[in-house]
Structure 1
Amino acid sequence: MATILLADDDAAVRDLVKRALISDGHTVHVTQDGVEALEALESGAVEIDILVSDVDMPQLDGITLAEKALALKPGLAVVLMSGFSDQLERAARLRARQLLSISKPFTLEQIKQAVRSVLS
C-alpha cells in the first residue's frame, strides 16, 4: 500500500480522510495546512507516494502545494479535494504523472477510490 501525505486545514475532514485511507491499508501522515505539508516534503524524513490535499487553505493553497511538491518529486501522485469546481479547473495545468481531483462533499468510498485510481 501507499504512504500518503494528507494536507487539510479542516480537522473534521482530515480525520475522516485519514480514517478512510488507513482502513484501506495506507500509511497516512497528516498536516494541518499547505505550509506544514511542504515542510514535511522538504525534510524528506518520510518517502511519500501520494499527496492528498485540500485546495482551499490559507497561506499555501493545495494547487501551489502540489506544484512545489511536484518540483521536489516529479513522480508524486496527487489527489486534490475541493468544494469549488473553479479551483479544480486550475489544477488542470499541473504536470503530474497521476493527478485526480475530487469534489467535496465526497463519501469515504469515493476518496478511497480516488487514491486507488492514482495508484494504478
Structure 2
Amino acid sequence: MARILVAEDDDSVRAFVVSALGMKGHEVIAAEDGGLAAETLAEEAGKFDLLLSDIKMPIMDGIALALSTAADYPDITIVLMTGFADQRERAHGLETLIYDVIVKPFTLADLLAKVDDALEGRPVEVLSLARRERDG
C-alpha cells in the first residue's frame, strides 16, 4: 500500500482521514499544519507516495505546502482538501502541480475513491467524464 502524509489542522477531520486510510492498509503520517508537514517531508527525504493536505491551515497553508512539495519532491502526488469555495479557487492555478481538490465535507467513499484515483494516476478529466456518465 501507499505511504501518505496528511496535513490537516482540524483534529476530527485529521483523525477521520488517518483512520480511513489506515483501515485501507496505507501507512499514514499526520501533521497538524503545513509547517510540520514540510518538516516531516524533509526529515523523511520526501519518501511519500501522496500528500493529502488541507488548504486553509495556520503556519503554512496547503497552497504553500503544495508548491514547496512539488518543487522539492516532484514524484509525490498531491491532493488538496477544502471546505471553502474561495480556497478551492486558489488551487486552480496549480493544475500542473496537484492531482485534484476534494471538497469538504466528504464521505468515506469519496475520500477513498479520490486517494485510490490519485495513487493510480488516473487523469482528473477521465474521472470527471466517468462521473458524468455514471451520474447522468
Same fold (TM over 0.5): yes
Q: How does 1:1-120 map to 2 (within 5 A)?
A: 1-44=1-44, 47-94=47-94, 95-96=96-97, 99-120=99-120
Greater C-alpha radius of gyration: 2
The CA distance in 1 between the partners of 2:55 and 2:106, in whole Å, is 14
- Percent of matched pairs sharing the same residue: 45
Query: Structure 1: which 5+ runs fail to align?
Result: none
Structure with higher helix content: 2
Q: Which SS does the other structure have where 1:105 is aligned?
A: coil
Q: Which stretches in structure 2 are left out of the alignment for 5+ residues?
A: 121-136
Higher relative contact order (CA 8 A, sep 6+): 1
**Superposed structure 1 runs of 4+ greater than 6 Å apart:** none
CA contact (8 A) 1:79 1:101 kept: yes
Asked if the contact 1:42/1:72 (under 8 Å) is kept, the reply is no
The CA deviation string for residues 48-90 of structure 1, in whole angstroms up to 9 with x for no partner, is 1100011110121011101101111112111111001221122
Provide the TM-score with structure 1 as the length reference: 0.93
The structure that is strand-richer by fraction is: 1
User: What amino acid maps onto 1:61 in structure 2?
Assistant: D
Q: State how many pairs are aligned.
A: 119
TM-aligned CA deviation for residue 42 of structure 1: 1.3
